[in-house]
Amino acid sequence: MKNSALKGALGALAVVGVALIAKKAVQRKRFIKGIFDEYGIKEKSPFGLADKIREMNDEEYQNLKGKFKKEFASKCCRKDNTCEA
């Protein structure tokens, strides 16, 4: 029974970690759904997105690319709120 408090603390920490991961997954799912709605993509799959990208002009593509970079940018490499990719 010596380690019961430690096990409880680690268990609580694990639950918090899983909750944070689930929250991030839901946020990203909402972002992707918003992209599909914004660009009028009926087929909710990577293939539907690829078909739409093929139809886009360069300006629209760069705009979409910027949105994806902003949403999925790694937060670990930032120095002064910039990220070198």
Report the predicted TM-score, pTM, of the whole model to 2 decimal places.
Answer: 0.65
The rounded distance, in Å, linking the Cα atoms of 52 and 46 is 10
Does position 79 have pLDDT exceeding 90, yes or no?
Answer: no
Q: Beta partners for 82?
A: 79
**What are the pLDDT digits (tens) for 5-40?**
888 888 899 999 999 999 999 998 999 898 888 888
Long-range contacts of 66-69 (CB under 8 A, 24+ apart): 67/35
Q: How far is CA 12 from the centre of its chain?
A: 25
What pLDDT does 26 receive? 93
